[in-house]
Structure 1
Amino acid sequence: MKNFFNLLFVLVCFSIVKAQQAAVVSVKYEELEKRIQQEKDKFLVVNFWSTTCGPCVKELPHFMEVNNKYAGNPKFKMILVSLDRLADMEKVVKFIKNKNLTAEVILLDDIKRMNTWIPRFNKDWDGNIPVTIFYKNGQKVYFNDGEMSKEDLEKLVEQNL
């Protein structure tokens, strides 16, 4: 019985640690590009958002449901790219905890060069968020400009896994 409680305690602690990211890494565009390339063997969902963007915050629970559903699939990965300011890092970390964000969160600290890197992601992206880009085998397969429904997100993931 004692072993059961010890195991249960370890599992609960592991779940909490896994569910919430303790620290957020801040990167420049080139580092984010390399990070995306590292996942070329997966179906990769990259969502650009901000804590101050109403539609972004509204869609995040859908993204977390889908992320949690496919988290055990080795061919799936979700990265949430925060466009908040580096000065707001503490706010972003609190937001992650409060909203129970389970996907990897990266802060893109490269706002001054956004006119350079935005068209590299998609030539038609005007800089508004939320934006979600889907990659399969390292290649962009879909660009979604604006808020996504849970149904549309799930459909895209299911079609590509």
Structure 2
Amino acid sequence: MKNLISLLILFLGVIIFKAQQKVISIVKYEELEKRIQEEGEKLLVVNFWSTTCAPCVKELPHFMEVNNKNADNPKFKMILVSLDRLVDKERVIKFIKNKNLTAEVILLDDIKRMNTWIPRFEKKWDGNIPVTIFYKNGEKVHFNDGEMSKEELENIITKYL
């Protein structure tokens, strides 16, 4: 009985920790690019968003549903790249908790060089968000400019997974 209770407490602790990211990684473009390459054979969904972008906030519940559905798949990974300012880091962390974001969230602190790194991600990207880029084996396989429905997201994931 003691073992069962200990196991239950450990399980609940892991769930609460995963659902409430308390620390957010702050990266520059080069670090994000390296992370994308390191994910290897996974289908990597990289969503660029901001807490102040209404379409971004609107689509996030769809992304969380899909992320939770694929959480146990070792060939799938989702990263939410916040383009909020570094001074708004605490607001982003609070947003993560309030919206129960379960995907990994990182803060891209590289606004001054946007005109350099945006075209490196996608030449057609005009800088507007939300934008979602799908990678397989470190190579871009799909670019989506604008808000995505759950169905669109699932269809692209199914196609490349």
Task: Calculate the TM-score normalised by the size of structure 2.
Answer: 0.97
The percent identity for this pair of structures is 76
Q: Is the 8 A contact 2:119 2:125 kept in 1?
A: yes
The aligned counterpart of 2:18 is 18
Separation in 2, partners of 1:143, 1:110:
21
Separation in 2, partners of 1:2, 1:151:
44
The aligned counterpart of 2:42 is 42
The aligned counterpart of 1:65 is 65
The aligned counterpart of 1:128 is 128
Separation in 1, partners of 2:35, 2:61:
24
Instruction: Give how far 1:137 is off.
Output: 1.3
The aligned counterpart of 1:32 is 32
Instruction: Give how far 1:158 is off.
Output: 1.3
Secondary structure at 2:44 match in 1: strand
Q: Deviations over 1:115-141 (max 9, x none)?
A: 010000100100000000000111101
Secondary structure at 1:119 match in 2: helix
In the TM superposition, 1:2-151 aligns within 5 A as: 2-151=2-151
Task: Calculate the TM-score normalised by the size of structure 1.
Answer: 0.97
Secondary structure at 1:61 match in 2: helix
Moved over 4 A (4+): none
Secondary structure at 1:47 match in 2: strand
RMSD of aligned alpha carbons: 0.9
